[in-house]
Amino acid sequence: MAATIVSSAGLRLNARARSSGAASSRVVARCESLPSQIRPPRLVLPLAPHATRDGPDADASGPRLPSDLRGVTLRTQHVAPARLSRASLVTRAVATPAPVTVPEPEQRVAISAPRPDVAMPNMQDPWNDPKWKDTKWTVYRDVAYDLQPFYDKHPGGEWLLNLAIGRDCTALIESYHLRPEVSTARFNKLPVLEDFPVTAVPRAPRPNDSPLYNSIRDRVRKELFPREGKMEHRMGGDGAAATIVGTAVACYALYANFTGPIAGAMLGLAGAWIGLTIQHCGNHGAMSPKTWVNNALGMTDDLIGGSSLMWRYHHQVSHHIHCNDNALDQDVYTAMPLLRFDARQPKKWFHRFQHIYLFAAFPLMQLAFQVGDIKGLFTRDCEGAKLHGATALELATVVIGKIAHFGLLLGPLAWGASGAAVAAGVASFIAVQGMVLACTFAVSHNVAETKVPEDTGGEAWERDWGIQQLVTSADWGDKVGNFFTGGLNLQVEHHLFPAICFVHYPAIRKIVAEEAEKFGVPYANYRTLPGIFAEFLKFVKDMGTADQIGDVVEAKHKNKSMCPLGFA
Ligand code: HEM
């Protein structure tokens, strides 16, 4: 049996069904109509591998088929491919004989992407309703809670808890706590907000509904951290932290005494090392069991020119929860229109040169962050996530951080360095740090196999979160890369376990690889940084000319302007 399914984004799926017995046949969905350079060889249908959805009576809480395939009776089958290649995006499904229903074009529903922290259209607005406006509300699995009684008691600290305020926190809760039964049990002690308009709050993904994720996490708990409750998953990074801080202090001493482009470049390298490692892991609450240590290390981001507050919202709420989602992960769309990292974004004539001018744009990344941080302070919005829970102290860190950062950079003027030497040193610092950070961040989510066409997974919150993390991230290198990038080279492991200290990722990686193979989910893995960087450049070049796929999906920005100055 062979059928052609045309997706809502105009993709043509050739569903080949080979008879393998009277009752079932095997279907391989293959994406054929995209230009070869942007097309993953096979299309992922991110269904939970052991889950079934056999028609309209299936459990409503279970995984849902991509909208194009609704009507096709599919039952997923556990398949262990003989060899996992970095480019194989495979889902095989066992189909019970049933007619393949191809939706007519007019029946196709455009994917809407309500912004996660703005009221759904035509619903009550708990963010602005005086009844709820000042409540520290959160929604966990369709129930609204008041977090106030837990405010000073959260073992992960107040700043992380604040991320949950004013949104559906399900994905944050279930991806951050290694013992989900402990963290979710705490909800039983929190006041339920009975008449809260829960349906007005856009739903978050539900990691605990992912069999793949649950399976990996169970093994990580049992095999790597059997002494449960001892917080060992947040230990082990002290030596790395001391080395990195020591290096940064030494580089600053060099810069202070020999101010100029070379010392500025050295300081830029040290700043990038901080940015990749201790600030990142600290802001995730994963460098230490002590909250104050995580907060202090997290604030090194402010010293190197970023903002720890903006980073927590941007990175953890927007990027981690919706990794590589075209409309909800701000890392995908904020580089537009300058850089096009996704074929679903509109193409401009100059994108064909982006693989060249990218080398001029990346060194300026930090300047873009500076503008974004200041804007975010006024708008209480970092583009991908509103700062609903940010306290006055957290907001103050943005201002204090900028003063400290520029104070350090311009400090040599106070003890006699010339303006030209300081200017050269600062320029060199900004360019080197920006280049290193941008390159290291970008490769992990911008190679061909990390881009899954939008319409393969249904609505953002419906997708299997575990599979979504695997198929949108790529690993490279091993322990050495892990030390120098704070685990960002093992991006898949980092996305699955953001609250585990990076020193444990190489061990977790073995479990991830085995489970991915068992579940038949592709796991992208490059041997070296140059290897993945070459693929990244090729991908950026391809994106410069690739035809646009489908409609542009944008998050809806109802209540967009919260800023008295009219920003946003
Ligand atoms: C919204 C309600 C939340 C509740 C009820 C809650 C509950 C808890 C509980 C009970 C623990 C101790 C866990 C254990 O001992 O195994 C914990 C730890 C922790 N929480 Fe939360 N939490 C919430 C929100 C968050 C958020 C939004 C984040 C991150 C963005 C977060 C990050 C952490 C971290 C990093 C720890 C440290 C220990 C660990 O890794 O389990 N929590 N939380």
- Give the alpha-carbon dihedral of 514, 516, 520, 522, to 10 degrees: -120
* pLDDT over 60 at 153, yes or no: yes
Position 383 pLDDT exceeds 50? yes
Cβ of 187 less than 6 Å from ligand 1: yes
Nearest to 485 by CA among 536, 436, 523: 436
Distances (CA, A) of 125 to 33, 162, 169, 191, 203: 42, 20, 17, 20, 15
Tell me the DSSP string of 479-528: HHHHHHHTTTTSHHHHHH-TTS-GGGHHHHHHHHHHHHHHHT---EEES-
156 Cα: distance to centroid of ligand 1 (angstroms): 5
Using alpha carbons, list the distances in angstroms from residue 425 to 249, 262, 361, 422, 433: 16, 7, 19, 5, 12
> Omega before 337 cis (within 30°)?
yes
Q: Quote the pLDDT of residue 549.
A: 77
Would you say the CB of residue 173 lies under 6 angstroms from ligand 1?
Answer: yes
Work out the percent of the chain whose per-residue pLDDT is above 70. Answer: 75
pLDDT tens, residue by residue, 41-56: 333 333 333 222 222 2
What spacing in Å lies between the alpha carbon of 393 and ligand 1's midpoint? 21
pLDDT at 296: 98
The amino acid occupying position 489 is N
Shortest-distance atom of ligand 1 to CA 312 = 30
User: DSSP class of residue 63?
Assistant: -
For the cut 90, the answer to whether the pLDDT of residue 109 exceeds it is no
Cβ–ligand 1 contact at 500 (below 6 Å): no
The atom number, within ligand 1, closest to the CA of 164 reads 27
| Residue appearing with tokens 């005494």 | 257
2 or 348: which carries more pLDDT confidence? 348
- Token representation of residue 431: 């360019």
* pLDDT at residue 309 in the model: 98
Report how far residue 94's alpha carbon sits from residue 78's, in angstroms, rounded to the nearest whole number.
9
SS3 561: coil
Q: What is the pLDDT of residues 17-35, one digit of tens each?
A: 222 222 222 222 323 223 3
Residue with tokens 């193409």: 347
CA-CA-CA-CA torsion sign (399, 405, 408, 414)? negative
Integer Cα distance of 160 and 177 in angstroms = 12
Q: What local confidence, expressed as pLDDT, does residue 458 receive?
A: 63
Which DSSP string do the residues of 90-137 spell out, in sequence order?
--EEEE-S----PPPGGGPPPPPEE-TTSPPTTS--TTT-TTTTTS-E
Q: What is the complex's ipTM, to 2 decimals?
A: 0.94
Show the DSSP H helices in 411-477 as ranges. 419-443, 465-471
Bridge partners, 475 (sequence order) = 525
Confidence (pLDDT) at 552: 59
CA-closest residue to ligand 1 atom 13: 183
Query: For ligand 1, what atom is nearest to the CA of residue 284?
Result: 35
Please say if the pLDDT value at position 67 is more than 70: no
Q: Is 170 in the pocket of ligand 1 (CB under 6 A)?
A: no
Q: How far is 335 from 329, CA to CA, in rounded Å? A: 11
Q: Please write the tens of the pLDDT for every residue from 461-497.
A: 778 999 999 999 999 999 999 999 999 999 999 999 9
Query: What's the rounded Cα separation, in Å, for the pair 555 and 332?
Result: 12
Per-residue model confidence as pLDDT tens digits over 256-311: 999 999 999 999 999 999 999 999 999 999 999 999 999 999 999 999 999 999 99
Which residues does 40 contact at the CB level (< 8 Å), separation at least 6? 31, 87, 89, 448, 449, 451, 452, 453
pLDDT at 255: 98
Cα 521 to averaged position of ligand 1 atoms, centre (Å): 28
Q: Average pLDDT of 95-120?
A: 47
Q: Give pLDDT tens digits for 491-527.
A: 999 999 999 999 999 999 999 999 999 999 999 999 9
How high is the pLDDT of residue 555? 52
- Token pair in block for residue 369: 């962050």
Report pLDDT for 340: 94
Closest C-alpha residue for ligand 1 atom 19 = 156
* Average pLDDT value for residue range 542-567: 56
Q: Which residues contact 196 (CB under 8 A, 6 or more apart)?
A: 126, 132, 137, 139, 144
Q: 168 C-alpha vs ligand 1 centroid, how far in Å?
A: 15
Residue 176 CB less than 6 A away from ligand 1: yes
Q: By alpha-carbon position, which residue is closest to atom 9 of ligand 1?
A: 183
Query: pLDDT tens digits, residue range 339-377?
Result: 999 888 889 999 999 999 999 999 998 898 999 999 999
pLDDT of residue 283: 98
How many Å lie between the centroid of ligand 1 and the Cα of residue 159?
11
Q: Rounded mean pLDDT of the chain?
A: 79
Q: Is the distance from the beta carbon of residue 467 to the nearest atom of ligand 1 less than 6 Å? A: no
Chain centroid to CA 67: how far?
23
- Dihedral of CA 16/19/23/28: which sign? negative
Provide the 10 A C-beta neighbour count for residue 414: 9
Q: 503 C-alpha to center of ligand 1: Å? A: 20
Does 229 contact ligand 1 (Cβ within 6 A)?
Answer: yes
* Atom in ligand 1 nearest the alpha carbon of residue 179: 16
The pLDDT of 245-255, averaged and rounded, is 98
Ligand 1 atom 29: the closest Cα is on which residue?
160
Contact between 502 and 494 (Cβ < 8 Å): yes
| Residue 455, pLDDT score | 52
Say which residue, 92 or 138, is predicted with more confidence: 138
Place of tokens 């951050």: 176
Grade residue 559 by pLDDT with cuts at 50, 70 and 90. very low
Between 68-77, 98-107, 165-174, 459-468, the lowest mean confidence (pLDDT) is in 68-77
Q: What is the model's pLDDT at position 93? A: 30
Q: 105 pLDDT band (50/70/90 cuts)? A: very low
Is 164 a pocket residue for ligand 1 (Cβ < 6 Å)?
A: yes
Which amino acid appears at position 475 of this protein? Answer: D
Where do the domains of the chain lie, and which CATH numbers do they carry? 2-107 (no CATH), 117-203 (3.10.120)
Q: Is the CB of 144 under 6 A from ligand 1?
A: no
166 in ligand 1 pocket by Cβ < 6 Å?
A: no
Q: Which residue has the tokens 């996490």?
A: 217
pLDDT band at 457, cuts 50/70/90?
low
Q: Could you tell me what percent of the chain has a pLDDT over 90?
A: 65
pLDDT digits 0-9 by tens, 182-236? 999 999 999 999 999 999 999 999 999 999 999 999 999 999 999 988 899 999 9
Q: How remote is the CA of residue 217 from the centroid of ligand 1, in Å?
A: 16
pLDDT(87) > 80: no
**CB-ligand 1 contact for 177 (6 Å cutoff):** yes
In the reported structure, the alpha carbon of residue 300 is separated from the centroid of ligand 1 by a whole-number distance in angstroms of 22
Query: What is the rounded average pLDDT of the residues 447-455?
Result: 76
Taking a C-beta distance cutoff of 8 angstroms, is the pair 89, 42 a contact?
Answer: yes
29/41 Cα distance (integer angstroms): 10
Report helix, strand and coil shares of the chain as percent, to nearest 5. 50, 10, 45
The residue whose C-alpha atom lies closest to atom 4 belonging to ligand 1 is 183
Kindly report the protein residue whose alpha carbon is nearest to atom 6 of ligand 1: 183
Tokens of 462: 């419906």
pLDDT of residue 98: 35
**CA dihedral of residues 132, 137, 141, 142 (deg, nearest 10):** -10
CA of 233 to the centre of ligand 1 (A): 13
